Amino acid sequence: MNKRRSIYLGEPLMRLAEAISESKSGGFSRKLCEIVERYQLIMDLEVLPDFTSDEIDILRGIIMGEYINSRKVRGLHLDVLSSDIGEKEELQILSKKIELLTAGQRLALIEKITKDS
């Protein structure tokens, strides 16, 4: 049984819809499905290092409730250093660990933390 769903066209989806209508490369739904499938590929293929439960708690405190944009992804290792959770040395170690991650790995980490919460 195929249940019909409605979605809210927020700003990012409005931009996508406009780009699709201008390019005439196919329908909005098809393109949205492609984007979701590709994003899931990234999430599935990215390999993350192991994080301790304390490190996950620190990251959860930094990520939860925040708007995730390119600045948040790029500066995640810096946000760790200003966390109220954890000791200074622990935060420095975690910051270095995250600094080594690619943007895709950082997104996968953010998805993991927000999914598990």
| 110 and 60 within one domain | yes
| 63 and 19 within one domain | no
Helix segments in 1-117, DSSP class H: 11-23, 28-45, 53-63, 70-74, 76-81, 88-99, 103-116
pLDDT band at 117 (very low <50, low <70, confident <90, very high): low
**Does residue 92 lie within any of the structural domains?**
yes
As for how many domains the chain has, the answer is 2
Q: Which domain holds residue 37?
A: 11-45
**Does residue 2 lie within any of the structural domains?**
no
Compute the residue count for the chain.
Answer: 117
| 79 and 63 within one domain | yes
Tokens of residue 101, six digits? 């991650």
CA distance 63 to 68: 8
What are the pLDDT digits (tens) for 63-105?
998 899 999 999 999 999 999 998 999 999 999 999 999 999 9
| 69 and 17 within one domain | no
pTM: 0.81
Q: What percentage of the chain exceeds 70 in pLDDT?
A: 93
Task: State how far the alpha carbon of 6 is from the alpha carbons of 11, 37, 100, in Å.
Answer: 16, 19, 39
pLDDT band at 23 (very low <50, low <70, confident <90, very high): low
Tokens of residue 3, six digits? 């249940």
| 112 and 57 within one domain | yes
